[in-house]
Structure 1
Amino acid sequence: MIDLKKHTNIALGYFLLAGLLGIFLRSFFVTSIPANFRHVVHAHSHIALLGWVYLGLNTLIYKMYFSETDQGKTYRRIFWFTQVTLLGMLFTFPFTGYAALSITFSTLFLFASYLFTWFALKKTPLAYKRTYSFKCIKASLWYLVFSSIGPWALGGIMATLGKTSIWYKMAIYFYLHFQYNGWFLLALCGIFLYFLERKDLQLSKRSFQNFFKLLNAAVILSFFLSVLWVEPHWIYYVLGAIGAGLQIWAFVVFFRMIKPFWKEAVPDFSPFVKFLLKLVGITLVVKLLMQLFSAHPYFAEIAFMYKDLVIGYLHWVFLGMVSIALFAFLKAANLLKFSKPDFWIYLAGFILSEALIFYKGVSIWLELPFFNDYFKVLLTVSSLLPLSIGLMLARNLRKI
Structure 2
Amino acid sequence: MNLKKHIVIALFYFLIVSLMGILLRFYVVTPLPINHKFLLHAHSHTALLGWVYLGLTTLIYRIFLQSADKPKLYSRIFYVTNISILGMIITFPIQGYALFSIIFSTLFLFASYWFAWFAMKYVPEHFKTRFSWRLIKIALWYLVFSSIGPWAIGGVMSTLGPTSIWYKTSIYFYLHFQYNAWFILGLLGILFFFFEEKGVQFNPQNLKSFLYLFNFGGIATFFLSALWFQPPKIFYVLGGIGAVVQMLAFSDLYGIIKPGFPIIKREFGQYSWLFLKIAFVLMGVKLLMQLISAHPYMANLAYRLKDFVIGYLHLVFLGIIITTLIAFLKYFKLLKLSKSFVWLFLIAFATTEILIFYKATAFWIGLPFFAEYYIFLAVLSCLFPVAIGILFFANIRDTKVWPLKNLGN
Fold match by TM threshold 0.5: yes
- Equivalent residues of 2:68, 2:123 under 8 A apart: no
- CA distance, structure 2, for counterparts of residue 9 and residue 335 of structure 1: 9
Q: Percent identity?
A: 52
SS, match of residue 268 in structure 1: helix
- Equivalent residues of 1:244, 1:288 under 8 A apart: yes
Q: Following TM superposition, by how much is the alpha carbon of 1:161 offset from its aligned partner in structure 2, in angstroms?
A: 1.1
- The answer as to 2:10 corresponding to 1:11 is yes
1:116-161 deviation per Cα after TM superposition (whole angstroms, max 9, x unaligned)? 0001111111111111111111111111111101100101111111
2:30 alignment partner in structure 1: 31
- Equivalent residues of 2:68, 2:122 under 8 A apart: no
Q: Aligned residues, how many?
A: 399
Letter in 1 for 2:223: F
Q: Following TM superposition, by how much is the alpha carbon of 1:365 offset from its aligned partner in structure 2, in angstroms?
A: 1.7
1:204-235 deviation per Cα after TM superposition (whole angstroms, max 9, x unaligned)? 11111011110001111010111111212211
- Equivalent residues of 1:195, 1:268 under 8 A apart: no
- CA distance, structure 1, for counterparts of residue 208 and residue 10 of structure 2: 33
Q: Following TM superposition, by how much is the alpha carbon of 1:261 offset from its aligned partner in structure 2, in angstroms?
A: 2.2
Q: Under a length normalisation based on structure 2, what TM-score does the superposition of the two structures give?
A: 0.96
Letter in 1 for 2:378: L
- CA distance, structure 2, for counterparts of residue 219 and residue 365 of structure 1: 29
SS, match of residue 336 in structure 2: coil
2:191 alignment partner in structure 1: 192
1:255 alignment partner in structure 2: 254
- Equivalent residues of 2:228, 2:300 under 8 A apart: yes
- CA distance, structure 2, for counterparts of residue 136 and residue 271 of structure 1: 27
Output aligned runs, 1:82-161, within 5 Å. 82-161=81-160
- Equivalent residues of 2:77, 2:115 under 8 A apart: yes
- CA distance, structure 1, for counterparts of residue 75 and residue 287 of structure 2: 37
- CA distance, structure 1, for counterparts of residue 199 and residue 21 of structure 2: 42
Which has the higher mean CA deviation after the structures are superposed, 101-110 or 126-135?
Answer: 126-135
- CA distance, structure 2, for counterparts of residue 347 and residue 253 of structure 1: 28
Letter in 1 for 2:179: Y
2:337 alignment partner in structure 1: 338
- Equivalent residues of 1:360, 1:370 under 8 A apart: yes
SS, match of residue 32 in structure 2: coil
1:3-61 deviation per Cα after TM superposition (whole angstroms, max 9, x unaligned)? 11001111111011001000011111111112211000000000000001100100110
1:152-191 deviation per Cα after TM superposition (whole angstroms, max 9, x unaligned)? 0101111111111111111011111011111011111111
- CA distance, structure 1, for counterparts of residue 22 and residue 271 of structure 2: 29
- CA distance, structure 2, for counterparts of residue 272 and residue 92 of structure 1: 37
Q: Following TM superposition, by how much is the alpha carbon of 1:341 offset from its aligned partner in structure 2, in angstroms?
A: 2.0
TM-align CA RMSD: 1.0
SS, match of residue 152 in structure 2: helix
- CA distance, structure 2, for counterparts of residue 33 and residue 271 of structure 1: 41
- CA distance, structure 1, for counterparts of residue 44 and residue 231 of structure 2: 28
C-alpha spacing 1:163/1:26, structure 2 compared with 1 (3 Å): same
SS, match of residue 203 in structure 1: coil
1:292 alignment partner in structure 2: 291
Q: Following TM superposition, by how much is the alpha carbon of 1:271 offset from its aligned partner in structure 2, in angstroms?
A: 3.2
Q: Following TM superposition, by how much is the alpha carbon of 1:265 offset from its aligned partner in structure 2, in angstroms?
A: 4.0
SS, match of residue 91 in structure 1: helix
Q: Following TM superposition, by how much is the alpha carbon of 1:267 offset from its aligned partner in structure 2, in angstroms?
A: 5.3
Structure with more relative contact order (C-alpha pairs < 8 Å, separation 6 or more): 2
Output aligned runs, 1:222-261, within 5 Å. 222-261=221-260
1:350 alignment partner in structure 2: 349
- Equivalent residues of 2:35, 2:93 under 8 A apart: yes
2:47 alignment partner in structure 1: 48
- CA distance, structure 1, for counterparts of residue 71 and residue 134 of structure 2: 22
Letter in 1 for 2:222: F
- CA distance, structure 2, for counterparts of residue 358 and residue 91 of structure 1: 31
- CA distance, structure 2, for counterparts of residue 98 and residue 240 of structure 1: 30
- Equivalent residues of 1:199, 1:265 under 8 A apart: no
- CA distance, structure 2, for counterparts of residue 33 and residue 275 of structure 1: 38
- CA distance, structure 1, for counterparts of residue 260 and residue 371 of structure 2: 50
- Equivalent residues of 2:146, 2:177 under 8 A apart: yes
- CA distance, structure 1, for counterparts of residue 17 and residue 72 of structure 2: 29
Letter in 1 for 2:112: S
Contiguous gaps of at least 5 residues in structure 2: 400-409
Q: Following TM superposition, by how much is the alpha carbon of 1:353 offset from its aligned partner in structure 2, in angstroms?
A: 0.5
- CA distance, structure 1, for counterparts of residue 128 and residue 344 of structure 2: 39
1:59 alignment partner in structure 2: 58
- Equivalent residues of 1:222, 1:239 under 8 A apart: yes
1:365 alignment partner in structure 2: 364
Letter in 1 for 2:394: R
1:303 alignment partner in structure 2: 302
- The answer as to 2:348 corresponding to 1:385 is no
- CA distance, structure 2, for counterparts of residue 70 and residue 101 of structure 1: 35
- CA distance, structure 2, for counterparts of residue 18 and residue 234 of structure 1: 38
1:280-328 deviation per Cα after TM superposition (whole angstroms, max 9, x unaligned)? 1011111111101001111111011111110110011011100000110
- CA distance, structure 2, for counterparts of residue 132 and residue 386 of structure 1: 37
